[in-house]
Amino acid sequence: MGASLKKFDTTVLDSSLDSSQVHLIVYPIRFFSFLSFRAANILVATVLSLALVGCTQEEPKGSSVRVTLPDSGTLAQWSSKPSEKNATKFESDDSSGIYQSVSATMPFPTWGLDDPTSLAEIDCFAVFVTGPELPLSSNKCASRDGSVDFPVGLWVGGFQPGASIELAVPAGSGRKVSIVGMKSATATACHDFKSLPLDFLKHSRPMVLGSSVLDLAPGEASVAISISMNNAKSFDGC
Please write the tens of the pLDDT for every residue from 162-217.
998 887 778 788 888 899 999 999 999 999 999 999 999 999 999 999 998 888 77
In this prediction, residue 153 has a pLDDT band, given cuts at 50, 70 and 90, of confident
Residue 137, pLDDT score: 74
Name the phi and psi angles at 173, rounded to 5.
-95, 160
pLDDT in tens, 13-55: 333 333 466 656 554 433 222 222 232 222 223 233 333 333 3
Residue 119 pLDDT > 70, yes or no? yes
Label each residue of 112-127 as H, E or C: CCCCCCCHHHCCEEEE
3-class SS at 96? Answer: coil
Q: What is the DSSP string of 168-191?
A: EEE-EEEEEEEEEEE-BSSGGGSS
81 neighbors 20 (Cβ within 8 angstroms): yes
In this prediction, residue 136 has a pLDDT band, given cuts at 50, 70 and 90, of low
Q: Decide: pTM greater than 0.75.
A: no
Contacts of 108 (CB under 8 A, 6+ apart): 144, 236, 237
pLDDT in tens, 62-118: 677 778 888 899 999 888 765 443 322 222 233 333 233 333 343 689 999 999 999
Between CA 17 and CA 4 the distance in angstroms is 9
